[in-house]
Amino acid sequence: MKLVTGNSNRALAEAVASYLEMPLADCTVKRFADKEIYVEIHENVRGEDVFILQSTSFPANDNLMELLILTDALRRSSARRITAVVPYFGYARQDRKSTPRTPISAKLVANLIVESGVNRVITLDLHAAQIQGFFDIPTDNLYSAPVMTRDIEAHYGKDNVMIVSPDVGGVARARAIAQRIGADLAIVDKRRPRAGVSEVMNIIGDVSGQSCILIDDIVDSGGTLVNAADALLKAGAKAVSAYITHGVLSEGASERIGKSRLKELVITDSIGATDAVKATGNIRRISIAPLIGEAVARTASEQSVSSLFD
């Protein structure tokens, strides 16, 4: 077995390699002067079971091309099987035609990955579960719920804790966490009364005196979380924190979170942390390296991966 990584999240790749007690494969992924991507594998991979760990996070197009070119290099080097381990699958929010004459970019990216020569995909908390069906190869969608549950129990306990979905679309995800810790569930109902008017937040459920924990898969600008936290505190919540799988946190988001009334934002290391994220006092990161590492090990030995979710 070989573990290969591009430049998207080397820290996570090194943590996974440490969990598996094996070195990262020696390879070069760099840029020519015109920014074209150059890849060279410096060790024999013929007949090997190779795992490429590469999130397609910002810069999404560069990291996606690194994944595709790494796959092509390994395929032409006679690797036996190539598994793309993509903790954060970029373009996942474009999973349907939301308006006329728009693309389904998630399907296009899935096609690119399959056509490049990938034999299997492992990813984490897809934005929409149906994206698994966009791939014509075996695809394992891992869940961060067990990791988050352990951290919530360690830092917040189970008493007076209420799990909150920041929108109606994320209810299933939040309910899974609530059931694991035996907590009640509340929902933030977002409505925009008319164009140009800020969102009105209605809370479904009694959050008075509760320590509320928002659960979601992606935090980008942070606006929804900040508004939801304000609405929950206005409704009587004692404190509001958030657990989000993928900390996209585009420009300005870290500062917005830092100045918000959120007690804490907990994100996984599926995306490499920027300096702004590291410098924000109320953002904490938890590692998914053991989860990814165990999934890789079980895939390589043809064992069950679904039992990781129990």
Q: Does the active-site annotation cover 190?
A: yes
34 is known to lie in a ligand binding site: yes
49 is known to lie in a ligand binding site: no
83 is known to lie in a ligand binding site: no
For 239-254, b where at least 16 C-beta lie within 10 A, e where not — what string? bbbbbbbbbbbeeebb
127 is known to lie in a ligand binding site: yes
196 is known to lie in a ligand binding site: no
167 is known to lie in a ligand binding site: yes
- Nearest partner of 201 among 234, 162, 231, 170, judged by Cα: 231
- Nearest partner of 27 among 42, 12, 38, judged by Cα: 42
93 is known to lie in a ligand binding site: yes
Scanning the structure block, which residue is given the tokens 């698994």? 132
222 is known to lie in a ligand binding site: yes
Question: Omega before 23 cis (within 30°)?
Answer: no
94 is known to lie in a ligand binding site: yes
* CA–centroid distance for 149 within its chain: 16
221 is known to lie in a ligand binding site: yes
Contacts of 247 (CB under 8 A, 6+ apart): 219, 265, 267, 268, 270, 271, 273, 277, 283, 285
- Nearest partner of 58 among 282, 273, 239, 235, judged by Cα: 273
Instruction: Round to whole Å and give the CA distance between 212 and 278.
Output: 24
What distance, in Å, lies between the first and last C-alpha atoms of the chain?
Answer: 26
Q: Which of 30, 107, 158, 190 is catalytic?
A: 190
Which segments are annotated as binding site for Mg(2+)? 127, 167
Catalytic positions:
190
Which segments are annotated as binding site? 34-36, 93-94, 127, 167, 192, 216, 220-224
Which segments are annotated as binding site for ATP? 34-36, 93-94
Which segments are annotated as binding site for D-ribose 5-phosphate? 192, 216, 220-224
